[in-house]
Amino acid sequence: MTPFFKEQTLHFLKHYIKKLALLSSINAVDVDLNRKQVVNITYLLSSVVGVISGLVFLSYGWLIESSVHFLGAAVSTTGYFLSIKGYAGSARLLFPFACSTYVTVCSFKFYGTDSHFSWLLIVLSAYSVTGFRVDRGKAQLLVCFFSLLAFAFIQLFAPKTTEYVSIDGRLLIALATFVASASMIVLIAGVVVTKLRKLNEHLRYLAEVDDLTKVYNRRKVLAEAVNVFADAIMTNQRCSFAILDLDHFKRINDQYGHDIGDQVLQRCAEIMSNNIRRHDWVGRYGGEEFVFILPNTRAEEAKSLMESVRIQISDMTIFLRDTDERIHVTTSVGVAEIQDDTVRYEQILARADKALYMAKDAGRNRVMLDFDGAR
């Protein structure tokens, strides 16, 4: 092999291996991509089976026999390239027929039924479920029926053994068939389980995170408020809640438009997220209001933390495009701490909300403790 040919071959392999890797990382929630990955895996494993079988026969000097296996590997490789080139439908349909034909020919010509090589067709059952869309039920049934028909045909009419395999050889083929079938099914199941796990994570993210600001939404942060409050009651510890409101935010929307208002919300939420501690929670309470859940935190400590957030937001500058105008944003914050007579977390939030309005009445751009929580 010349250095140039070797270099070109390596470049070719790296290119398509990279394409295969990208299939699992482009979009974790794309179900069509999931099916495409299943098709690619089955084709690649089938190619490996064909190449290994062909090399075994070639080692005994059986050139014609080995060419059958290499032809099967070539068909699988062709199907793989059809898939990655965008002909997914054709590649998806090619595999069941190519696999059934390959197993049938090998069982009749080389291995016989005693080798149990025909059990490789069980892969088509897993393939039919994961390789086709749910609304293609007829295609799934057709693949299962076709594989069952091929299996029955082999069991009824194929010879029990052939001149190519000994008793030890049949045992080896049976073991290899089991390993190949199990590997394909495990890998296919692994792809499906991984995709489902990522899909669930994505759905949970959509259910818990505010799409605009990327902090938790109201439902999630209030659910954590319940948990933090319950822990504080059980462990006899303190916790504090804070409500932050952007001052005159409606004026920003009216004067500069909602796009600028969204940008303000995003920048402020980023500052909030960067300033909370690992065990704290921040979420969008509604509109331009945000709520902070601060476990194991006294009121004064919570006030200090919120003061830092307030200062950083007030120091933030947003430049308007195509103008020299700048926007400065201020916030008002109310903080409340759990008390001995607190029986519901809503009571802490109500006192924090009361402190927020005290901050607004006192001139805005400040952090206030509720009177009861200042003790």
Question: What pLDDT tens digit does each residue of the chain (375 aa) get?
Answer: 555 555 655 555 555 444 444 443 333 334 456 677 778 888 888 888 888 888 888 887 888 878 888 998 999 899 888 888 888 778 888 888 888 888 898 888 888 888 888 888 888 888 887 777 656 668 788 888 888 999 999 999 989 888 777 766 677 777 877 877 787 777 777 777 777 788 788 888 889 999 999 999 999 999 999 999 999 999 999 999 999 999 999 999 999 899 999 999 999 999 999 999 999 999 999 999 999 999 999 999 999 999 999 999 999 988 887 667 888 999 999 999 999 889 999 999 999 999 999 999 999 999 999 864 444
Q: How far is residue 255's CA from residue 200's CA, in Å, rounded to a whole number? A: 41
Q: Which of 65, 224, 288, 337 is catalytic?
A: 288
| Residue 89: both structure tokens together | 């439908």
Q: What is the rounded CA–CA span in Å between residue 130 and residue 143? A: 12
Residue 288 is among the residues annotated as catalytic for this protein: yes
Could you state, in order of their start, the residue ranges of all structural domains in the chain?
Answer: 3-207, 218-374
Q: How many CB atoms are located within 10 Å of the residue 316 CB?
A: 16
Rounded-to-integer distance, Cα 101 and Cα 107, Å? 10
pLDDT tens figures, 195-250: 778 878 888 888 999 999 999 999 999 999 999 999 999 999 999 999 999 999 99
- Superfamily (CATH H level) for 218-374: Reverse transcriptase/Diguanylate cyclase domain (3.30.70.270)
116-149 core/surface letters (b: 16 or more CB in 10 A; e: else):
bbbbbbbbbebbbebbbeeeeeebbeebbebbee
State the Rg of the chain over Cα: 33
Distance of CA 196 to the CA centre of its chain: 8
Q: What does the alpha-carbon distance between residue 45 and residue 104 come to, in Å, rounded to a whole number?
A: 18
Give residue-wise pLDDT tens across range 121-158: 888 888 887 777 656 668 788 888 888 999 999 999 98
Distance of CA 364 to the CA centre of its chain: 43
